[in-house]
């Protein structure tokens, strides 16, 4: 498989490393609008062809698939162009800025018969996959409740104020849905995947804290949410609480998910600091549920990851989850979470329309939104 990497920022290094490990895959080209970064990346990974634009690469055309590692706002136009050119795509999350775009991308890929996957990177955590298997096998019984969090602390430090790679994440005009679209979507994905059930209802509170005079630094209006608190209900009836923040002082990067069933419970914990990282799965099962004793579960490393699954999908012609369609449906949850914050209502994902024209794209069938439960306006 001949692979093109679109976008050569920090995350693209992981793509180059992982794809280079796979027999039969050759990275034949790279694309970036920043010439110096592109040149350094191509030299580092011995990539023969470097393109200043995606249009140039598509005109050249000597590749079978692409890894889209561009910024969030560029996912839609670049992926649509790649699909139109008949190329398979592995896209970084989130798939798009909104559900309307994500739905169009999923439909285009399906109609073209292309392999289209989204890199929800925590799917490659063996502890999450094991938790998913344990839930589906009934080891904790019926899932009744869950809680999940993703905590970072980079806003506590001043370095972000002078670096566009951080600043764009704080600005809706630069394509960011804030901590919800960056971290919250990981927790939503992990919760739905581990519980084996899609999210059915959502209610969220989002907040952008004051970070600079008038919350603006140069061209960046810092209006994207920094922290979120959310409740969800899954299709299987489980209720959950989700939180995420970039103000979590003391936490470099921690994702935690706990699942509580009527026969047991699980805890998934993935942490990273500048000096260490760990992945732990703990369980409270059997007689231990009476004493509240939790024990660590031994988990074997995964033999595959999102990169090898994408390659296999291209080879076999069979899509592998998480697909564009899955990611589009998850983007609908993100969009509705934003809407609930604006309107102070809880929304049912199954009736994902809107009472206002600007949100009409949230529903495939065009139905009006019906609040699951009206919330009182704040005093």
pLDDT in tens, 31-79: 999 999 999 999 999 999 999 999 999 999 999 999 999 999 999 999 9
How far, in Å, CA of 126 to CA of 132, rounded? Answer: 10
* Residues whose CB falls within 8 Å of the CB of residue 358, separated by 6 or more in sequence, listed in order: none
Q: What is the pLDDT of residues 226-264, one digit of tens each?
A: 999 999 999 999 999 999 999 999 999 999 999 999 999
**What's the pLDDT score for residue 374?**
36
Residue 355 in this model has a pLDDT that exceeds 70: no
Asked if 10 contacts 165 with a C-beta cutoff of 8 angstroms, the reply is yes
The correct answer on CATH 3.30.360.10 for the domain covering 123-296 is: yes
pLDDT value for 366: 35
Q: Tell me, what's the pLDDT at 353? A: 54
C-alpha angle 78-81-83 in degrees, rounded to nearest 5: 110
Distance (Å, whole) CA 99 – CA 334: 8
| pLDDT (tens digit per residue) in 259-309 | 999 999 999 999 999 999 999 999 999 999 999 999 999 999 999 999 999
DSSP state string for 94-142: SS-SSHHHHHHHHHHHHHHT--EEEE-GGGG-HHHHHHHHHHHTTTT-S
pLDDT at 364 over 60: no
The two three-digit tokens of residue 95, written as one number: 């798939």
For the chain, domain boundaries: 2-121+306-323, 123-296
- For residue 359, the model assigns a pLDDT of 41
Q: What pLDDT does residue 345 have? A: 83
Return the number of other C-beta atoms located less than 10 Å from residue 151's C-beta: 21
CA–CA distance, 58 with 267 (Å, rounded to integer): 45
Percent pLDDT > 70 in the chain is 93
Q: Is the model's pLDDT at 329 over the cut of 50?
A: yes
> Residue 301: how many CB atoms within 10 A of its CB?
5
Mean pLDDT for the chain? 92
Instruction: Say what the pLDDT of residue 352 is.
Output: 60
Dihedral, CA atoms, 340, 342, 343, 347, nearest 10 degrees? Answer: -10
Report the pLDDT value the prediction gives residue 346, as an integer from 0 to 100: 77
Contact 139, 285 (CB under 8 A): yes
Predicted confidence at residue 348, as pLDDT, reads: 84
Element (H, E) at 313: helix 306-316
pLDDT at 222 over 90: yes
Q: Which of 3.30.450.20, 3.40.50.80, 3.40.50.1260, 3.40.50.720 would CATH assign to domain 2-121+306-323?
A: 3.40.50.720
Q: How far apart are CA 69 and CA 32, in angstroms?
A: 10
**Which tokens belong to 323?**
């697909």
Contact assessment for residue 79 and residue 17, using Cβ atoms and an 8 Å cutoff:
no
Crossing angle (nearest 10°) for helices 99-112 and 324-343: 170
Tokens of 111: 């109609």
CA angle centred on 338, ends 332 and 340, rounded to 5°: 100
Give the predicted TM-score (pTM) of the model: 0.89
How much of the chain exceeds pLDDT 90, in percent? Answer: 90
pLDDT at 42: 98
Count, residues in the chain: 379
Q: How confident is the model at residue 141 (pLDDT cuts 50, 70, 90)?
A: very high
Name residues whose C-beta falls within 8 Å of residue 333's C-beta, 6 or more positions apart in sequence.
Answer: 188, 199, 202, 232, 349
- Pairing between β-strand 199-207 and β-strand 88-92 as defined by DSSP bridges: unpaired
CB 244 within 8 A of CB 126: no
Does residue 332 surpass a pLDDT of 50? Answer: yes
Cβ atoms < 10 Å from Cβ of 212? 14
Q: Identify the burial level of 347 via C-beta atoms within 10 angstroms of its C-beta, where 0-12 means exposed, 13-18 middle and 19 or more buried.
A: buried
Half-sphere exposure of 121 (CA within 13 A, CB side): 13
Q: Going by C-beta distance under 8 Å and a sequence separation of 6 or more, which residues neighbour residue 117?
A: 89, 90, 91, 306, 309, 310, 313, 319, 320, 321, 322, 323, 324
> What's the mean pLDDT in 334-346?
92
Mean pLDDT of 144-158: 97
Q: With a cut of 80, say whether residue 13 has pLDDT above it.
A: yes
Sheet holding 276-285, edge to edge: 295-296, 276-285, 264-273, 253-261, 143-152, 239-245, 227-234, 199-207, 345-348, 373-374
Confidence of residue 371 (pLDDT cuts 50, 70, 90): very low
């Amino acid at each position: 498989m001949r692979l093109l990497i679109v976008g050569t920022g920090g995350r693209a290094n992981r793509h180059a490393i992982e794809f280079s490990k796979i027999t039969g895959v050759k990275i034949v080209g790279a694309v970036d609008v920043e010439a110096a970064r592109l040149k350094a990346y191509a030299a580092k990974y011995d990539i023969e062809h470097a393109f200043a634009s995606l249009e140039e690469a598509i005109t050249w055309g000597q590749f079978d698939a692409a890894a889209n590692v561009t910024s969030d706002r560029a996912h839609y136009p670049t992926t649509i162009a790649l699909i139109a050119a008949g190329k398979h795509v592995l896209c970084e999350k989130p798939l798009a800025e909104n559900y309307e775009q994500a739905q169009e991308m999923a439909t285009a890929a399906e109609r073209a018969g292309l392999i289209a996957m989204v890199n929800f990177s925590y799917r490659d955590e063996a502890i999450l996959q094991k938790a998913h298997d344990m839930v589906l096998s009934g080891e904790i019984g019926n899932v009744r409740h869950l809680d999940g969090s993703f905590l970072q602390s980079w806003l506590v430090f001043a370095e972000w104020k002078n670096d566009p790679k951080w600043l764009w994440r704080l600005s809706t005009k630069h394509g960011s849905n804030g901590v919800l679209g960056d971290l919250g979507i990981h927790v939503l994905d992990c919760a739905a995947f581990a519980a084996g059930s899609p999210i059915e209802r959502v209610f969220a509170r989002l907040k952008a804290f004051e970070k600079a005079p008038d919350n603006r630094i140069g061209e960046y209006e810092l209006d994207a949410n920094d922290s979120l608190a959310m409740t969800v209900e899954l299709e299987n009836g489980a209720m959950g609480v989700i939180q995420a923040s970039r103000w979590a002082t003391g936490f470099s990067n921690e994702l935690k998910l706990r699942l509580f069933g009527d026969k047991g419970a699980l805890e998934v914990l993935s942490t990273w600091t500048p000096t260490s990282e760990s992945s732990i799965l703990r369980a409270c099962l059997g007689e231990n549920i009476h004493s509240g004793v939790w024990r660590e579960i031994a988990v074997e490393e995964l033999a595959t990851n999102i990169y090898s699954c994408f390659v296999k999908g291209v080879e076999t012609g069979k899509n592998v989850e998480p697909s564009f369609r899955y990611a589009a449906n998850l983007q609908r949850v993100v969009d509705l979470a934003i809407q609930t914050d604006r309107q102070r209502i809880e929304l049912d994902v199954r009736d994902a329309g809107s009472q206002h024209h600007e949100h009409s794209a949230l529903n495939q069938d065009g139905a009006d939104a019906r609040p699951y439960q009206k919330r009182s306006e704040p005093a």
